[in-house]
């Protein structure tokens, strides 16, 4: 049998990310690591701590929620952005998304809460 005839396991062609925000969180983590904000061992430790918390889904469906929580904690620990700043920015993006017409790019300046 040639390698072109090999049957791949079920789910092999499934998307890696179920939601766009998961891909964005992944990309942000890689970019912040590349900028030297944290080492991979620091990242592994932070993510592991989140995944091991009580209440984590045994099937891993909440993996990227843990990923995001780990990233937010590292940002806070490293003094880049605290929980209040992260939550405020997330709320601003949410307001901008709701204020943006369908099919148009979501821009932070569309946030009606900016008080312009």
Rounded Cα distance, 85 and 47, in Å: 21
Tens place of pLDDT per residue across the chain (116 aa)? 455 666 656 666 677 888 888 999 999 999 999 999 999 999 999 999 999 989 888 888 899 999 999 999 999 999 888 888 888 888 898 899 999 999 988 888 888 887 65
Rounded Cα distance, 50 and 75, in Å: 14
Predicted confidence at residue 116, as pLDDT, reads: 55
If we measure between CA atoms, which residue out of 25, 73, 23, 24 comes closest to residue 46?
73
Beta strands in 1-116 (DSSP E): none
Structure-token pair, residue 47 = 């993510």
Predicted confidence at residue 1, as pLDDT, reads: 47
CA–chain centroid gap for 111, Å, is: 21
Residue ranges of alpha helices (H) inside 52-82 are 63-77
Predicted confidence at residue 40, as pLDDT, reads: 96
Question: Whole-angstrom distance between the N-terminal and C-terminal Cα of the chain?
Answer: 66
Predicted confidence at residue 16, as pLDDT, reads: 80
Place of tokens 């929620």: 65
Q: With a threshold of 0.75, does the pTM exceed it?
A: no
């Amino acid at each position: 049998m040639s390698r072109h005839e090999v049957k791949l396991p079920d789910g092999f062609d499934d998307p890696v990310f179920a939601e766009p925000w998961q891909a964005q969180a992944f990309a942000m983590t890689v970019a912040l690591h590349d900028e030297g904000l944290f080492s991979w061992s620091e990242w592994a430790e932070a993510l592991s701590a989140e995944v091991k918390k009580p209440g984590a889904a045994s099937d891993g469906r909440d993996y990227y929620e843990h990923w995001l929580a780990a990233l937010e904690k590292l940002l806070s620990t490293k003094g880049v952005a605290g929980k209040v700043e992260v939550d405020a920015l997330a709320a601003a993006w949410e307001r901008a998304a709701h204020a943006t017409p369908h099919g148009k790019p979501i821009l932070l300046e569309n946030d009606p809460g900016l008080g312009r």
